[in-house]
């Protein structure tokens, strides 16, 4: 799905560049020329996709997210320049308020994103295998209790990126065919774009979570390990255990889908929560910062997990 998302993003950027830059300077514009221009401009995105895929395949992190972060960092200078130009036009009181709101928003955004990435749903599991030596085995089993953590942001902010890309692509198509009238822009920016962004983000978060966590594989591993899944956090209620096999797979699939749905709702709330200071103060960096902070935190956790696996004794 990361390859598909990167390809879609590169095609979107190529289409926008073809319509906004190439079309006004070319006579005899037609569909074949538009298709050729879009694919030519998207070739850079295909190279971007190849590098991202290599990063992911070498287990160095989420390649698409890391490459997206490089693009965001590269555009910071332009965003800061736009903010500073608008900042100078404010009065002294508004300048102080704008700067304070920007600092507060970035700090709050950092806290919420890092908190959300460390938040997970616990699925209680038990193992019925004995932990005693065969010579000492008396026919009874000790229940080894544990849990299966499912992060709410299991795929990071990729659903947010998907929502932004598809909503932006739809906006370009609508304005290109319906015209850039004031009424069309107002309706799309106030109603259609937020609605489409919310639906796509939540939908992709649910699908990404299901595909990434793979409930069938987890159910098979639990079955081979002799583990049972509990529907409640109270592991003493033995009647709440789920039968191994298809029942476990269905329960895990529903639980993972709910977690992905909740994570998508959290991302949408975060985006709309910081839309107001972006519009009012002209600080158009909060949405990219969500992606940047999330990717950096995810990369740090992957590095931490790698060090724990390879240098466990040094971290005890």
Same domain, 22 and 134: no
Burial 116-125 (b: 16+ CB within 10 A, else e): bbeebbebbb
pTM value?
0.66
pLDDT score recorded for residue 268 = 85
Domain that holds residue 141: 76-315
The encoded tokens of residue 72 equal: 């965001």
Structure confidence by residue, pLDDT tens digits, 292-306: 777 777 777 777 766
Domain presence at residue 112:
yes
Domain presence at residue 247:
yes
Domain presence at residue 70:
no
Q: How far is CA 112 from CA 105, 158, 163, 192, 212, in A?
A: 10, 17, 20, 27, 23
Same domain, 273 and 147: yes
The encoded tokens of residue 312 equal: 């466990």
CB contact at 8 A, 142 and 130:
yes
Same domain, 24 and 125: no
Q: What residues of the chain score a pLDDT lower than 50?
A: 130-139, 235, 238
Structure confidence by residue, pLDDT tens digits, 40-87: 777 766 776 677 777 767 666 666 666 666 666 666 666 667 666 766
Q: How many domains does the chain have?
A: 2
User: Which helix or strand (DSSP H or E) is residue 232 part of?
Assistant: none
DSSP state of 239: G
The three state secondary structure string of 95-116 is: HHHHHHHHHHHHHHHHHHHHHH
Domain presence at residue 71:
no
Same domain, 92 and 178: yes
Is 259 exposed, middle or buried, given 0-12, 13-18 or 19+ CB atoms closer than 10 A?
buried
pLDDT score recorded for residue 107 = 77
Measured in Å, how far apart are the chain's first and last C-alpha atoms?
Answer: 37
Q: Which of 18, 33, 60 is the last residue of a domain?
A: 60
Residues in the chain: 316
pLDDT score recorded for residue 72 = 66
User: Which helix or strand (DSSP H or E) is residue 260 part of?
Assistant: helix 246-273
The rounded distance, in Å, linking the Cα atoms of 285 and 102 is 9
Domain presence at residue 67:
no
The rounded distance, in Å, linking the Cα atoms of 169 and 292 is 22
Same domain, 31 and 156: no
Same domain, 146 and 278: yes
Same domain, 232 and 88: yes
Q: Which of 10, 26, 60 is the last residue of a domain?
A: 60
Q: In CATH, what number is assigned to the domain containing residue 257?
A: 1.10.3370.10
Is 197 exposed, middle or buried, given 0-12, 13-18 or 19+ CB atoms closer than 10 A?
buried
């Amino acid at each position: 799905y990361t390859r598909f998302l990167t390809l879609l993003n590169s095609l979107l950027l190529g289409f926008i560049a073809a319509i906004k830059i190439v079309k006004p300077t070319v006579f005899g514009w037609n569909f074949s020329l538009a298709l050729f221009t879009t694919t030519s401009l998207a070739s850079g995105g295909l190279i971007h996709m190849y590098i991202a895929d290599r990063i992911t395949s070498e287990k160095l992190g989420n390649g698409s997210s890391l490459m997206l972060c490089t693009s965001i960092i590269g555009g910071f200078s332009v965003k800061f320049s736009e903010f500073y130009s608008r900042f100078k036009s404010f009065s002294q009181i508004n300048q102080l308020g704008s700067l304070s709101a920007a600092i507060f928003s970035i700090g709050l955004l950092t806290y919420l994103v890092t908190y959300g990435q460390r938040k997970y749903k616990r699925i209680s599991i038990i193992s019925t295998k004995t932990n005693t030596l065969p010579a000492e085995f008396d026919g009874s089993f000790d229940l080894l209790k544990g849990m299966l953590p499912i992060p709410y942001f299991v795929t990071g902010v990729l659903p947010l990126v998907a929502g932004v890309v598809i909503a932006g692509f739809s906006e370009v198509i609508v304005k290109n065919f319906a015209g850039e009238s004031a009424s069309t822009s107002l309706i799309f920016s106030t109603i259609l774009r937020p609605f489409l962004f919310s639906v796509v983000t939540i939908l992709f978060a649910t699908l990404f979570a299901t595909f990434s966590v793979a409930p069938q594989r987890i159910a098979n591993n639990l079955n081979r390990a002799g583990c049972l899944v509990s529907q409640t956090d109270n592991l003493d209620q033995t009647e709440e255990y789920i039968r191994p096999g298809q029942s476990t797979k269905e329960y895990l699939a529903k639980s993972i889908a709910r977690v992905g749905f909740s994570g998508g709702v959290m991302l949408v709330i975060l985006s709309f929560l910081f839309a107001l200071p972006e519009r009012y103060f002209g600080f158009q960096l909060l949405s990219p910062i969500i992606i940047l902070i999330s990717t950096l935190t995810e990369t740090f956790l992957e590095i931490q997990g790698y060090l724990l696996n390879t240098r466990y004794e040094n971290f005890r």
